[in-house]
Structure 1
Amino acid sequence: MERGVNREWAYVVEDAGKASAVPREEAVARHGHASLVWIHLNGRDSGSLEWLRDRCGIPYPAFLALTAVETRPRADFLDSGAIINLRGLGATPHDDPDTLVSIRLWAEAGFVISISYRTISAIEQVCEKTRAGRILDPGDLIVDLADAITARLDPEVAVLGDLIDDLEGHIGERAVAGARSRIAGVRSRSIDFRRFLQPQRDALERLSLTTAEWVTEEDRLHLREAANRAARMAEELEAVRERSALLHEQLTDLRTEQIDQRSLIVALIALIFLPLTFVTGLFGMNVEGIPIRSDGMAFWWIAIGSCVFGAALWLIVRWRRWI
């Protein structure tokens, strides 16, 4: 599959599981005569959007939902079909403003229209299974797409948890290079993921409860499993977000404690040397009348006295356990 957002296709799957790529018009004409007709459109192509509105035959509310600028995961039933929005990792991160990109679908018996504005990474896996004849109806297509999305998201969520574990193991060390920015990055990414995973779980659960004939009991079972995986990832992301917030607080407390310790050391050094500075300044005045000025040992008496006084102050500080 080519990287980018300009990929479109139309597959027709016969009852025997044989899939073939055909033009869009032929795919629409085969609707009702094949077990599955799947048409995928590029949302950035104005011609494809015009065809979707005028010649595809889907309800107008479904057209509005498929072409909405902002979307969130959902599953809503309309007449005999369903409007489904799912989110997954993008295949072109440099072109994706959101961490998770959307794919929008209109599904009914034997017919699926999907549209994306950016390439979702899981789509090629579903295309391969379709060409191999392993996807036979709309229920299979939705289940495999949901499974592929959650399977690719699971390792990403696990990596965030591992990063937090690593930061927690080193947060007490003095040198935690870039810890604050790393924590902020993990927290931001977990929030981005959870923002879509929670409603995606709800959408999959709603699909698993449908009584539509084109969704089999086995499909419902797989949809419930995908919903459970999405729920587990959402819970793990919430834990990552809370742990990253706690780590940020611990890092702030650690830096505050380090600053307090350094300030205390500076204050104690000043406590010791301030009296000594006064003594040396007093006896260093170039005026008449300074005691022991004529004594040849005066310098050594003052130096020894200063050392003894400084040592005494240091012992007092240690005795009081100020450091």
Structure 2
Amino acid sequence: MLPPGALGHSGDDGWLWVHVNLADARVAPYLRAHVPDLPKAALDLLLSVGDRQQLHADDACVYGVFADLVYRLEGLSDELGLLHFVATEKLLITGRRDGLHSIEAVRKSLRSGQNPKNHTALLESIFMQVTTGVEEKSEAISDELDFIEERLIVDLEDDIPKRLAKCRRLAVRLHRLLSTQRSVIGRFEQNAWQTTGKAHVLKTSHIAQRLDWLDHEMVALRDRAHLLQEEVSLRMTDQTNRNLQLLTIVTTVFLPAGVISSIFGMNVGGLPLEHDRSGFIVTMLLLIGASGLVSTS
């Protein structure tokens, strides 16, 4: 934990970025006690557990919630997490409950020597890293669909429907994510001009353009996955019909034989050929002849 008062002293010309783990029970009491002049609505949203994306601006700060892909030890996952943030004139506070791709990417860029000129530039960089993670996933979906399409040309294998469903589900989720983020930024751009504070000089036009482009790509991938699912469904239906046709033929061929064997298998007196030594041969000839007659008709 930072010492008390550290969040209120970033220097006359400096600024401070603080990233916290909101799953830590000590974070909420510390921020409520030591963050100076932070609006209650912004602090409440920063510490909230809601899952609705939003972006607000008032005279004191910019604050909101943005979704991002979760980053695990093995790399970028398909799960979604939430980034909570508040940006005042000289302070940027971000928080998460899961490891996020955007934060990890920004950390790496800072360690490599990149130096954003202010806290809003850093927040813009975080937003752009969110879109970068989605772009990586869109490329992975495209490569997976290419692979599935190549295999479909050869044959329909058992694992293709499951892999295709996974691709389409991820494309739908990411499309929903991107469209929501674009809507959130659009509302922010409409409302931000009404405020007069210095904290919200947040440039979002380039982020909105990138979201629009990515959403267009994601819709194309979603539609492509849908078309491939339709092709798989048609092939599965055709394969089922062939199996049913074969089953019908087999059942039809052996139906007369089943009827004859049932008749001669009854435990009643007076059956023909019961005491004839050639009865078995005659019965087999009847069975074969009836099956052959049905199969040629």
Q: Name the TM-score class by shorter chain.
A: 0.7 to 0.9
CA distance in 2, matches of 1:196, 1:228: 15
Deviation at residue 279 of structure 1 after TM alignment? 6.8
Question: What is the total number of aligned residue pairs between the two structures?
Answer: 287
Equivalent residues in 2 for 1:114-125, closer than 5 Å: 114-125=94-105
Question: Is the CA contact 1:28–1:56 (under 8 Å) kept in the aligned structure 2?
Answer: yes
Deviation at residue 175 of structure 1 after TM alignment? 4.2
CA distance in 2, matches of 1:37, 1:174: 58
Deviation at residue 188 of structure 1 after TM alignment? 3.0
Report the equivalent of 1:191.
172
Report the equivalent of 1:178.
159
Which range moved further: 193-202 or 247-256? 247-256
CA distance in 2, matches of 1:148, 1:112: 17
Structure 2 residue matching 1:233: 3-state secondary structure? helix
Question: Is the CA contact 2:69–2:78 (under 8 Å) kept in the aligned structure 1?
Answer: no
Report the equivalent of 2:21.
42
In the alignment, residue 147 of structure 1 is paired with which amino acid? M
Report 1 or 2 for greater relative contact order, CA contacts < 8 Å, sequence distance ≥ 6. Answer: 2
Deviation at residue 100 of structure 1 after TM alignment? 1.6
Q: Say if 2:34 is the partner of 1:55.
A: yes
Identity across matched positions, percent: 18
Report the equivalent of 2:241.
260
One of 200, 221, 246 as aligned partner of 2:181: 200
In the alignment, residue 159 of structure 1 is paired with which amino acid? A
Deviation at residue 172 of structure 1 after TM alignment? 6.5
Flag the 1:315–1:37 CA change in 2: closer, same or farther, 3 A: same
CA distance in 2, matches of 1:185, 1:271: 41
C-alpha distance after superposition, 1:34-77 (max 9, x if no partner):
24222222212233211211220211111111011113322111
One of 79, 82, 93 as aligned partner of 2:62: 82
One of 102, 105, 108 as aligned partner of 2:85: 105
Structure 2 gaps, min length 5: none
CA distance in 1, matches of 2:94, 2:144: 35
Structure 1 gaps, min length 5: 1-7, 10-22, 317-323
Question: Is the CA contact 1:105–1:112 (under 8 Å) kept in the aligned structure 2?
Answer: yes
In the alignment, residue 5 of structure 2 is paired with which amino acid? E
Deviation at residue 82 of structure 1 after TM alignment? 1.1
Question: Is the CA contact 2:264–2:271 (under 8 Å) kept in the aligned structure 1?
Answer: no
Question: Is the CA contact 2:156–2:235 (under 8 Å) kept in the aligned structure 1?
Answer: no
CA distance in 2, matches of 1:158, 1:62: 36
Report the equivalent of 1:148.
129
CA distance in 1, matches of 2:26, 2:255: 83
Report the equivalent of 1:167.
148
Structure 2 residue matching 1:91: 3-state secondary structure? strand
Question: Is the CA contact 2:257–2:287 (under 8 Å) kept in the aligned structure 1?
Answer: yes
Deviation at residue 244 of structure 1 after TM alignment? 3.9
Structure 2 residue matching 1:30: 3-state secondary structure? coil
Flag the 1:288–1:73 CA change in 2: closer, same or farther, 3 A: closer
